[in-house]
Amino acid sequence: MAEVVAFRPLRRKTAAEKAKENRTELTIILCAALDAIATLIGKPSAAEADFHDCTKVLHELLYVNAWEVRLAVTTTIGLLAQTNVQAKEELCLLNVMPGLIGVLQKGGLEAIKTISILTEEREDACNQLMAIDGGIDLLTSYVQNDDEDADKDDNSSMGQEREEISGSGGGNRKAMERTAEKMRTSQKGRHREASTDSSTSAAEAGGGQTWTALADLEGGLQPGMTEAKTGLKVERPTIVPVASKTEAVSTLRNVATSNLTNRTAITNKQVIPQLVKLM
């Protein structure tokens, strides 16, 4: 006797589920296209190629919702501006700076290198950056010493332990063990933070992007991000690689040497103390 199988109709996907799938597929397609463009830019013929239509598309893609696309576009703009002089001029005329600052506000360190490339020997790009409220403050915040507050807390705690040890004449073995354990824990924590940021550093250097599901990007701070010390609403990586700080310093130098007005404005921003801390 044949087995009777009950008919179970497939559940229809809701409009929200379909929209999410479409967004994910579109994100994958756009990122693949941007990778192809980056490959073309890397060829010797790219220096003389016409990227007029490409620059317009890149400018528009800086404002899409998909975070992966915005990061890939930011890197591609930097590569294109570094390779093709005409494309760099067109990008400056389009004023991509607000879009790049928007990426940086969300913690995209790739934007620092791209901004540095665009502002090099381009007074108009420097003026565009200066015109953005809080833009220079944001760059300066990435130059500051990330471990400064942590060091203060550690030093305060270690100081208390040293007082306990000295108060007991140096014979309190338990206090010495606690101090050593705190030092080991603090060092391990910083090593973990530095390792989580290595993917961002690789992407900044022109390597692969960090891919994250769209569902994880729709709200809140990203993993390893915290509020920056600036007036803007910023999601900032806890640990900023030295390479990113160097690019930020280069950008500040480009702006300061572009004209006297910008130099005066940079000086008034109290950037020099931050640079001294970096040194």
- Could you read off the pLDDT of 233-252 as tens digits, one per residue? 667 777 888 899 999 999 99
For helices 52-61 and 15-41, angle between their N-to-C axes, nearest 10 degrees: 140
Residue 55's pLDDT band (cuts 50, 70, 90)? very high
73 with 62: CB under 8 angstroms? yes
Would you give the DSSP letter of residue 222? Answer: P
Location of structure tokens 């379909």: 18
Location of structure tokens 């050593």: 180
**According to the model, what pLDDT value does residue 172 have?**
54
pTM: 0.64
* The two structure tokens encoding residue 223: 């993993």
Quick one: which of 236, 239, 248 has its CA closest to 275? 248
What value, to the nearest 5°, has the Cα angle with vertex 57 and ends 80 and 59? 70
- Could you read off the pLDDT of 80-92 as tens digits, one per residue? 999 999 999 999 9
- Could you read off the pLDDT of 110-135 as tens digits, one per residue? 999 999 999 999 999 999 999 999 99
